[in-house]
Amino acid sequence: MEPFMSTYTVNGVTFALMQGDIVRVEVDAIVNAANAALAGGGGVDGAIHSAGGPTIMEECRKIGGCPTGSAVATHAGRLNAQYVFHAVGPIYQQHGDEEQLLASAYQSCLDLAERYQIKSIAFPSLSTGAYRYPVTLAAPIALRTIVRHLQQPTSLQQVLFVLFDARTLDTYKRAMQQIHDDF
Ligand code: ADP
């Protein structure tokens, strides 16, 4: 077991919060924090395209774009995954309904997971880097959306949250403790 990993079981599904680099995990689908143009950028997006190789961007160009609060799937190139789900979270304080848009970006990935019948998925912390959504506000929205989804029948057996730094991991752990106590 990794030292900085907290594992929960939600309705029989393993749900883990860990510190790490999302391009290094081995899962069926890796979620990317993309932008609406699917144009590539820094942060998670830069890491995914550079580790996964150019075929991911070729597919993104063909798709053309993705509205905020939604997600689209491509193959995963050289990553240890079958798919990349490119999710577009809101830019903090640029949308009226950003809580709903953030939840819906996560939900769109969960919907893709069911459509492709995948067993494992890894999420980064959407919108909390370049898009400046405060982690303390984003973590409970992200976690509640996923936990609620896992309470229904699902193809998923494992959900990973891969947080880049210790502080973000700590904020997600605290939020998860609160949510876990609620159900
Ligand atoms: P957004 O534009 O949606 O805010 P970013 O990629 O800028 O997306 O940041 C989202 C979060 O992902 C931030 O907490 C950032 O520290 C983190 N992050 C950056 N690179 C990686 C990576 N390789 N693996 C996991 N998380 C990462």
HEC assignment per residue over the chain: CCCCEEEEEECCEEEEEEECCHHHCCCCEEEEECCCCCCCCCHHHHHHHHHHCHHHHHHHHHHCCCCCCCEEEEECCCCCCCEEEEECCCCCCCCCCHHHHHHHHHHHHHHHHHHCCCCEEEECCCCCCCCCCCHHHHHHHHHHHHHHHHCCCCCCCEEEEEECCHHHHHHHHHHHHHHHHHC
pLDDT tens-digit series, residues 59-98: 999 999 999 999 999 999 999 999 999 999 999 999 889 9
How many domains does the chain divide into? Answer: 1
Cα 113 to averaged position of ligand 1 atoms, centre (Å): 21
Catalytic-residue membership of 45: yes
pLDDT tens-digit series, residues 2-54: 557 899 999 999 999 999 999 999 999 999 999 999 998 999 999 999 999 99
Q: Judge if the beta carbon of residue 23 lies within 6 A of ligand 1.
A: yes
pLDDT of residue 61: 98
| Closest C-alpha residue for ligand 1 atom 5 | 129
Q: Judge if the beta carbon of residue 172 lies within 6 A of ligand 1.
A: no
**pTM for the whole thing?**
0.97
Q: Which of 44, 66, 125, 132 to mutate to test the pocket of ligand 1 (most atoms within 8 A of CB)?
A: 44
Neighbours of 130 (CB within 10 A): 13
Say yes or no to pLDDT of 140 above 70. yes
Range of the domain at 10: 5-182
Q: Judge if the beta carbon of residue 30 lies within 6 A of ligand 1.
A: no
pLDDT of residue 36: 98
- Identify whether the C-beta of residue 106 lies closer than 8 Å to the C-beta of residue 142: yes
CATH number, domain of 77, equals 3.40.220.10
Neighbours of 40 (CB within 10 A): 17
pLDDT tens-digit series, residues 152-162: 999 999 999 99
Say yes or no to pLDDT of 1 above 50. no
At 183, the pLDDT band (50, 70, 90 cuts) reads low
pLDDT of residue 10: 93
pLDDT of residue 2: 53
Neighbours of 169 (CB within 10 A): 23
Q: Which atom of ligand 1 is nearest the CA belonging to 135?
A: 14
Q: Which of 137, 160, 164, 170 to mutate to test the pocket of ligand 1 (most atoms within 8 A of CB)?
A: 164
Q: Which atom of ligand 1 is nearest the CA belonging to 22?
A: 24
pLDDT tens-digit series, residues 142-152: 999 999 999 99
This model of the complex carries an ipTM of 0.97
pLDDT of residue 182: 67
Give which of 71, 64, 87 is closest to 133, Cα–Cα.
Answer: 87
Catalytic residue among 21, 28, 45, 111: 45
pLDDT of residue 145: 98
Q: For residues 103-131, give the mean pLDDT.
A: 98
Instruction: Identify the bridge partners of residue 30 per DSSP, sorted by sequence position.
Output: 84, 122
